[in-house]
Homo-oligomer: A and B are copies of this chain.
Amino acid sequence: MTASSEATTSPHSPSLPDSPAPILQRLGLKATPQRLAILGLLFNSSLPLSIKGISKQLPHIDPVTIYRNTSFLLEKGILRRVELRHGHAHYEIVKAQDHHHLICTACARVEEIAGCDIQILEDTILKKSKHFKSIHEHALEFYGLCKECSKLAK
C-alpha cells in the first residue's frame, strides 16, 4: 500500500512510456519476464499487434497471460486498443503524439497516419452535446484500398 512514489521519472503527462521496465515500476507492477517481453515487443512494433501476433512471437508465453497483460496495461493507459476490423483486438503503445491508421479492406495492410487534429474538435462537440460532460479519447480509422490491392481491382 505504501508505494514509494518519489517521482524520479520525467515531468510529462501521466503515462508517457520510456521503456518497458520503468513503466512497470512506475505502476507498481511486477516486472515479470512475460510482461517485459510483451511490452518490449509492442515497443518495437511500428504497427498494432493482435494477441495472436504477440503469441506467435512469444510462443513460450501462455496466451491467457497475454490477454491478461494487455487488458491490464490497457486499463493503466499504457496500451490503446485499435479497431482494424480484422475480427479481433489489436494493441499498441500509447505514444505522446496521437496518430491514426489506414486499413486496406482487401488485404490486411495497415499504415500509420502521423499527426491528428481531432482533439481541437472535442470542445465544440461537448458544447453541442446534450448528455456528455467530457471526452477522454477518440478513435479514428480510415478504411480503403492500398495501392497493390487497387491494382488487382475488379
- Known A-B contacts A132-B102, A132-B104, A147-B132; the reply to A142 vs B125 at CB < 8 A is yes
A110 nearest in chain B by CB position: B131
Set B81, B105, B134, B139: member contacting A145, Cβ < 8 A: B134
Smallest beta-carbon distance A66→chain B, Å: 18
B residues within 8 A CB of A122? Answer: 142
- Known A-B contacts A113-B125, A125-B102; the reply to A138 vs B143 at CB < 8 A is yes
Chain A residues with a Cβ closer than 8 Å to the other chain, count = 37
- Distance between Cα atoms of A20 and B130 in the complex (Å): 30
B residues within 8 A CB of A125? Answer: 102, 113, 142
Contact A132 B144 (CB under 8 A): yes
Set B111, B132, B140: member contacting A140, Cβ < 8 A: B140
| A-B residue pairs, 8 tightest by C-beta | A133-B150, A135-B144, A137-B143, A133-B147, A140-B140, A138-B142, A134-B144, A131-B146
